[in-house]
Amino acid sequence: MTPDLSAPIAPDVLTLPRKLPGGMAPNLVGLTRDQLRDALIAAGTPERQAKMRVGQIWQWIYHWGIRDFTAMTNLAKDYRSLLAEKFVIELPEIVTRQVSADGTRKYLLRIAGGHEVEAVYIPEETRGTLCISSQVGCTLTCSFCHTGTQRLVRNLTAAEIVGQVMVARDDLGEWPVPGAPKDETRLISNVVLMGMGEPLYNFENVRDAMKVVTDGEGISISRRRITLSTSGVVPEIARTAEEIGCLLAVSFHATTDEVRDRLVPVNRKWNLEALLAALRDYPRLSNSERITFEYVMLKGVNDSDADARRLVKLIAGIPAKINLIPFNEWPGAPYERSDWERIEAFADIIYKAGYASPIRTPRGEDIMAACGQLKSATERQRRSRAEIVADDGL
Ligand code: SAH
Ligand code: SF4
């Protein structure tokens, strides 16, 4: 059943019972087709049947949203029992779901180890966007971002990344009903990797998860409707074009290295010049159109006319859209949102230079669901990158 998303719903909190996920059996969710094939063979599926079984199981999980092996009726009973014995189909657990007055839904999800991440669904008139997380917390410490104040706990697995899309589909009632006429309207038409974490510090899992989400026989969201946002992890940008091929957004936020060093500290490693060089190659490598430059408007920090003019000069020659994001406040934030007139004057300079410069309306502010406001309670000591990478085998 499709919920009525147009009706404003008063903020509410749905609290579901907490249950720690995690049996010992491997989870089929998040495996690429090749990985699924290997897993099935290892569990005793004859090699010559493996491809067909992958196709069947894939459809059950990602087209129909089935979680129970016994419901996979085109598989022999014995085979279903074998699958149920060897594997699980497991998603993150919804701990709370908050619904904003504007219809935005924020999910707090519990994943293995008792960690928590957030995902946000933003309904709009002609589309619906799901904003998903790639890490618990973030290793980077952008000074205007709430997530940046939360220490990184770990990278999400591909299963946990795909799982966010599946959980939201569950909540929105978006799986097809067998026998019902095919419904082409999509509640989740777009996915943005703009939640917690830096996706390019979790490259392989993000890539594999996107392989699953874009697969035409399953969730089938085109890679042109997926936008990955990075703070500027330059060495992974070409790989993103080649191995994921989605749209790219970059958290630009400043027009001089001096200011960007302060706002987006990863700039000390890869400065504006290095970042811009990587961005120039992206549209060709990914065969995509425009790069989105995200620019958070911070009062008196990066919002002058001179900044706007420098911005236009810096990105000259790159097919671009500039997304101005009024700063979203969070408790203890060291910045203020630029005044509206300032944002409009800034937008005007960019527009006159020939760029689309939409000002992003904050969504779900009343439930702290807007850009940069996500932060879950999970905290742990900051760990080295080596430890995080080692943990990826989870
Ligand atoms: N880590 C990735 C993706 C997540 S952030 C990245 O940094 O790109 C999604 C966007 O929200 C980024 O452009 C980020 O810089 C911006 N953002 C972070 N905190 C914000 C805040 N308090 N107000 C407005 N935008 C914010
Ligand atoms: Fe991490 Fe992005 Fe926040 Fe920076 S803006 S701290 S990269 S989530």
| pLDDT tens readout for residues 88-129 | 999 999 999 999 999 999 999 999 999 999 999 999 988 999
Which residue numbers are catalytic?
118, 371
The upper half-sphere exposure of residue 236, i.e. CA atoms within 13 Å in the direction of its Cβ, equals 18
Give me the mean pLDDT over the 120-147 stretch. Answer: 92
Helix (H) or strand (E) holding 232: none
Q: Which of 294, 359, 365, 375 to mutate to test the pocket of ligand 1 (most atoms within 8 A of CB)?
A: 294
21-86 under CATH 1.10.150.530, yes or no: yes
For CATH 1.10.150.530, the residue range(s) in the chain are 21-86
Q: What 3-state DSSP class applies to 178?
A: coil
Give me the mean pLDDT over the 164-185 stretch. Answer: 88
The pLDDT confidence band at residue 376, using thresholds 50, 70 and 90, is low
The edge-to-edge listing of strands for the beta sheet with 105-111 is 12-15, 93-99, 105-111, 115-123, 128-131, 190-193, 226-230, 247-251, 291-297, 320-326
Q: Which residue has the tokens 């293995």?
A: 112
Q: Determine the pLDDT at residue 211.
A: 98
Ligand 1 center to 264 CA (angstroms): 10
Q: What is the mean pLDDT of the chain?
A: 88
CB 292 within 8 A of CB 259: no
Helix (H) or strand (E) holding 83: helix 77-86
Q: Determine the pLDDT at residue 253.
A: 98
- CATH topology for 93-388 is TIM Barrel (3.20.20)
Q: What is the dihedral of CA 127, 233, 315, 353, to 10 degrees?
A: 30
Q: Determine the pLDDT at residue 182.
A: 72
CA distance 74 to 63: 14
**pTM confidence score:** 0.89
* Ligand 1 contact, 152 CB (< 6 A): no
Per-residue pLDDT tens over the stretch 187-220: 999 999 999 999 999 999 999 999 999 999 999 9
Per-residue pLDDT tens over the stretch 289-328: 799 999 999 999 999 999 999 999 999 999 999 999 999 8
Q: Determine the pLDDT at residue 17.
A: 37
Residue with CA at minimum distance from ligand 2 atom 4: 142
* CA 330 to ligand 1: nearest atom: 22
Q: Which residue has the tokens 């657990």?
A: 93
> CA 16: distance to chain centroid?
23
Q: Determine the pLDDT at residue 371.
A: 67
Q: Tell me the residue length of the chain.
A: 394
Which residue, among 264, 253, 270, 386, has the nearest Cα to 314 in the 3D structure?
Answer: 253
Per-residue pLDDT tens over the stretch 28-85: 999 999 999 999 999 999 999 999 999 999 999 999 999 999 999 999 999 999 999 9
Ligand nearest to the CA of 198: 1
Structure tokens, 169: 């589909």
CA distance 360 to 297: 11
Give me the mean pLDDT over the 351-360 stretch. Answer: 89
CA distance 204 to 199: 9
Helix (H) or strand (E) holding 94: strand 93-99
Give me the mean pLDDT over the 148-163 stretch. Answer: 89
Q: Determine the pLDDT at residue 358.
A: 85
For CATH 3.20.20.70, the residue range(s) in the chain are 93-388
Give me the mean pLDDT over the 130-143 stretch. Answer: 93
**47, 187, 201, 205, 209 from 70: Cα distances, Å:** 22, 28, 38, 29, 25
Q: Which residue has the tokens 């973030």?
A: 138
Q: Determine the pLDDT at residue 90.
A: 97
Ligand 2 pocket at CB < 6 A: 138, 140-142, 145, 147-148, 197-198, 231, 251
Name which of 21-25, 67-71, 145-149, 317-321 the model is least confident about: 21-25
Per-residue pLDDT tens over the stretch 304-314: 999 999 999 99
